[in-house]
Structure 1
Amino acid sequence: MTGQAGTGGDVPVLSVRDLEVVFPTPDGDVQAVRGVSWDVYEGEVLAIAGESGSGKSVSVMAALGLLPATAQVSGTIAYRGRDVLAMTDKELEKLRGSAISMVFQDPMTSLNPVMTVGAQIAEGVRIHQQTKTAVARTKAVELLDLVGIPNAPQRVDSYPHELSGGMRQRAMIAMAIANDPDLLIADEPTTALDVTIQAQVLDVLERAREAAGSALVVITHDLGVVARTAHRLLVMYAGRIAETGMADNVFERPAHPYTAGLLGAIPRLDAPKGTRLMPIEGTPPSMLAPPPGCAFAPRCPRATDICSQETPALRPIGNQLAACHHAEDQYHSHNNKTKEDRDDQR
């Protein structure tokens, strides 16, 4: 349904099918997620990318039961075959932090300011593993050391405000992997960090994933993060999947104009000298009243009458899936452009 299977087997750790999320507001219903389906497999890194408001974070928050009580959620979310949407609050509490963990975007608002980072890590260990306080503290020191925080035996007693932004994010990663989760979710894990620290945190995240043996879902608007970390890429726009496939294939031959636009808007070291970045014109639509047909049509350079009349289905194009009436043209034109760029560089 969402591209090739992952690297760790045929049974997904988390499976999302026909997910719909609606937020009632005084102005009307916000259709945040509209019929999204995806899987993530053992040992796999899945990146979900798109602009702000595309629905990427909401689709994952639904899987953890972290949406507001007013949110209307339908579809199926299954963790190893168990229906997450049917779980009680107590069952969800047991699932979160043990089987599924999350690294949030801003650690300063996620960490408790009046507890030491070591105490916060140890608390999760004690709750889920039923260990003694001393054992949990030792585990916290080991985890802080694993994620690259220097002088971990001393830093375990530091408060969040005493750590730099990069170190706080490392502490969040340590907390997330404390119970060796099956699935690790990172929501914009590097957005608030400078470029140098971003690279370090991504390395830490990958080491932590390998140490815990977790599958990883990375939510991001930064395709540089995708290129560095992901096996598979899912691009969302206006609450729907625009394109999905193996990350290398999508980067080399995007089949959706939106994906091509995202790639054209980021700098590349291998681009010919003098190449200009090409921003995507316009803005995403209001999800209070999504436009008919393809939501990207008002911003799309390839749009024709059919685009504003019929919603395109997600279908195979080359080695990936794309929801575009003109996917073949986009896919083949990008192939030709890539060939011309290579010829120019010779």
Structure 2
Amino acid sequence: MVEARKGISCCKHVVLPVLVVLIVAVIIFLVKDKAHPSPVPSIPSSTPSAAPAPMVPTLENGTYGAALATSIQFLQIQKAGKLVGNTIAWRGDSALNDGKGASLDLSKGLYDAGDHMKFGFPMAFTGTILSWTILEYKQLLTGYGKLNLALDNLRWITDYLVNAHSADNVLCIQVGDPKVDHSCWDRPESMTEERPLLFINKTSPGSDVAGETAAALAAASLVFKSSNATYSSSLLKHAKQLFDFADKYRGIYSYTFPDLANYYNSTDYHDELLWAAAWLYHATGNMTYLQYTTDNGKKFKGYGDPTYFSWDDKRAGTQV
């Protein structure tokens, strides 16, 4: 058993996972505002020279709605691949050959931040949280006219993750060389550097990233279940296979590939196993997954109480 978490792992490039958490936060504020609109404080008549009272953000003045729109648009901006129906004037097709050397189509997915890297661990977490957001706040997203964009962003992620899972016990977890990529400053449409692939498998395990990818696909299967049953079933099939892979061949991916600790270092994998099992239970209703979370949740209790929720630590999420 690996050591307990000792703190927040360092990461230089956290824009994508932080952004999707921001989307959730904005929606929560919108829900609260709708239930309890905040009045704009009035200025007492006895103080005519007082400065105007600051505007309190509400649904009426659109502050949170604008934040939601901008956050979802950011995910659109981060898209790689063939941009069908592109609405971002300064973005174009890019990374069309990603994965071709391994006979895979990895052209889709989202770039991580201001670079051209596709890091599977935070991208999968983005997919899980975006799915959760759609499931919880579908009506609100619809009301703001952002549901279709959210669904489009989610499918852009899940299409990539499905293609990255090329065999039962094989998963591509990275496209691009971060050292080379971070020495360049150019548009993704213009990049010319090599785009190597990095895989986990039986002998090079990564239970954390495989588990998070399983969680993302299981959660997304719920999102698409009513609108595209065939696609939903495919997502669920991959989620089950990835969970079995993560559980059977255990290891921390940034231990398997130490250089990755400089980017998205993982401090454990047990939380991802619980997180994935929880989502698989919701997606399938299979009590085996619920029993897994119950039994192993007790076993991993010595890892301490969560103090935050992030792409690296899902303990808080598994307790919801």
Same fold by TM-score greater than 0.5: no
TM-score, length of structure 2 as denominator length? 0.25
TM-score, length of structure 1 as denominator length? 0.24
| Higher fraction of helix | 2
| Higher fraction of strand | 1
